[in-house]
């Protein structure tokens, strides 16, 4: 799946999630893979969920919060997010921050649909 072909979903918060791999395409998968674009100044709301997750930062700069820890992130960084741990990301740069997320087990398709309902 190419990013340009993936469904682009937003909650009008400065983040656009391109769903590259999910239970919508492969019902038996144990992975959800998402490419996320975070506009300058935008902030991913702090949240937690059952799946374990990693973010691979592709471009841009930001501040990543995982649990009680805050650290700067930049292209090439990998961030591990344990299951059920609060986390969020703020773009502190002047260009789009891009990252790819991998989560396991996969987010149920209905949960993804509900998250992006407008």
State pLDDT tens for residues 60-90.
999 999 999 999 999 999 999 999 999 999 9
State pLDDT tens for residues 10-63.
888 999 999 999 998 899 999 999 999 999 999 998 999 999 999 999 999 999
Domains and CATH numbers, the chain: 15-115 (2.60.120.10)
Q: Which residues contact 13 (CB under 8 A, 6 or more apart)?
A: 42, 43, 44, 45
pLDDT at res. 24: 87
Residues counted in the chain: 118
**Is a pLDDT exceeding 60 seen at residue 118?**
no
More confident residue, 71 or 112: 71
Least-confidence region, from 5-9, 63-67, 79-83, 92-96: 5-9
State pLDDT tens for residues 10-19.
888 999 999 9
**Is a pLDDT exceeding 90 seen at residue 108?**
no
């Amino acid at each position: 799946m190419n990013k340009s072909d993936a469904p682009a979903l937003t909650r009008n918060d400065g983040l656009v999630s391109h769903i590259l791999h999910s239970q919508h395409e492969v019902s038996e998968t144990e992975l959800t893979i998402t490419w996320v674009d975070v506009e300058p100044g935008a902030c991913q709301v702090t949240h937690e969920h059952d799946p374990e997750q990693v973010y691979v930062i592709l471009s841009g700069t930001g501040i990543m919060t995982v649990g009680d820890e805050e650290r700067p992130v930049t292209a090439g960084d990998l961030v591990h997010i344990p299951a059920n741990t609060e986390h969020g990301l703020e773009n502190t740069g002047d260009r789009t921050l891009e990252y790819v997320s991998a989560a396991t087990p996969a987010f149920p398709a209905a949960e993804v649909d509900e998250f992006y309902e407008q």
